[in-house]
Structure 1
Amino acid sequence: MSDLNKNIKINEANPIHEHSKASEVYIASVFNYEDAQVVWDGWLPIEYRRTGVSVDYNDKPALYTYMNKVYDQMNPGHLDKWNKDQDEFWSDRNARVTEEIFEALRDGEWKCVNHDLPSNPNFARRIQDLKEFGYTIATDTKRYCSHCGKNTTHLMMLHIPRVELAGNGYETWSPALRKRIINVLGGVDVYENVSSRNVLPDHKFSEIRWDDNTKSENPDKMTDEEIRSKFQLLTNQRNQQKREVCRNCYQTGQRGTIFGIDYFYKGDAHWDESIPKKGKDAEKGCEGCPWYDIQEWRRRLNEKNNR
């Protein structure tokens, strides 16, 4: 069994904290770097899908190995290189607004979103951009702020290596493929079942259930059948709604409905516990949910009603 570094302490009284909306889980930790006379007191993610972190708190060998690794990564002796790497990363990015928020978080301290960070009308999107750039950011939605005089949401950036997009479980596609996906699927918003100019490609299999081995390539030469199997078209509003439904299902095991219609063409309202929660095999548990394949769900429901 791996031993936990003697300079790492876990807040045993209140170790686990969750950011339920993002399905992130953290462990309250203290890292003591005696030689540098530095103490880091923060939240270390143990469930953080954007960078592929998924560590069971009860699996002590895996937990201690992970914490020891991050302790080494966050050694103050590496900070100069970390800062240099970030300067190089942002030097060829055209994302000034997001960069301003990064700079405010750069020192690694807890920051109140109300007054420590730049004001932005789409602040949540900017934080999501930072996470998709591979940064690890802890979120505490109920931390007391002396300036505000109440509990507010605070963010903390961890000084660990940024995870490149290719390794974080997300998929990308070229503008040409995006256009082709929309054309192959007829530009039809499957939720409203009407043609729309405002639709976006949506993965049927929700990203919240992906793991490191789930991601696949989306070449421009994907066949029409591959496109129909993998994607559907939704407006951004419905895409966000689906994300929330899938997040709730992942956390509670309660599958979603559309218009409150309690119909599933496979399974029922509860996630099948015999199916893994994450990974390629988890997609089997999504089948039959209306949000997974809205067009197929509608077809099956009509077929059932017309019998």
Structure 2
Amino acid sequence: MPASPDELRRVAQAWVARLASGEATDADAWQVAAWRARSPAHEAAFQEAARLWSRLAPALRTGGAPAPLPLRRSLANRRGLVIGASLAASVGGSLVVGRRQGWLPGLEELDADHRTGTGERRVLALPDGSRVAMNTRTSLSLRFTAEERRVLLLGGEASFAVTADPGRPFVVASAGGETQVLGTVFNILMEPGAVSVTDLEGRVEVRSSGGMQLGPGEQVSYDAAGLGPRRRVDPVAVSGWQQGLLVFRDRSIRSVVAEINRYRPGHILLLNEAAAERQVSGVFHLDRLDQVVTHLLQTAGLKARALPGDILILR
């Protein structure tokens, strides 16, 4: 049964409030795009909600979180021209902010050779016999030549099992850094502001304003400032996603929530700072993410509130 106009308005208001909050993620961007594309009625409801939300910019700048406004057709008709202009400015600004914060995909990601959606995992066989496992919301492109095998990791996470070919180096470029190998297995995770490289077998060299060689079980992260320190990690926890598992060992609830958000539609907001740094452990199936949420609720005594658009607030 098609959604009623009232239901469309409520969901559209929730989406606009989320996108204007400054905490939206790329999962939100994909979800709202899909929702708007369902029908002309969905798109019209979103546009009307955005026009009304533009009136709340002063409250948003001061950190307010007003409840969705009831729609009044007379108001929309009377101020349609002015609000329409505001909408163009606010949506344009939101797109810029969204790309900077990482919740909207960049043009390179949209034009990638290979992409996975939310919760999707895929294994690619590369032309040289190497294999790459792509995790949720991952984008990459291939640039193979007779002299070099180059992969551009544009977003997300991927694990590479590389076929040895000393005459053709295998290089993964991501966020200004490079990882080069001759024959090994390694994992690369792109996060907002940083990239983490984990060596699982063999050896790998990571370059970003300097260089560092890693052995099995070693990890390094880099950002705009260059390489961080070398550290030992649990390879099972790093590569668990390839077996459909999330493995947490003494991880903060904040980091666990961030991890869950990569795999589920919508978004989980953690608003309990006292519980955010509490350490938790566990092994969970990626197709049962609700069990992770239940574990967090029971462990930290959190309360959950569900909102439209698969948004979940934990307090």
TM-score range, shorter chain: under 0.3
The TM-score, its normalising length taken from structure 1, stands at 0.25
Higher relative strand content:
2
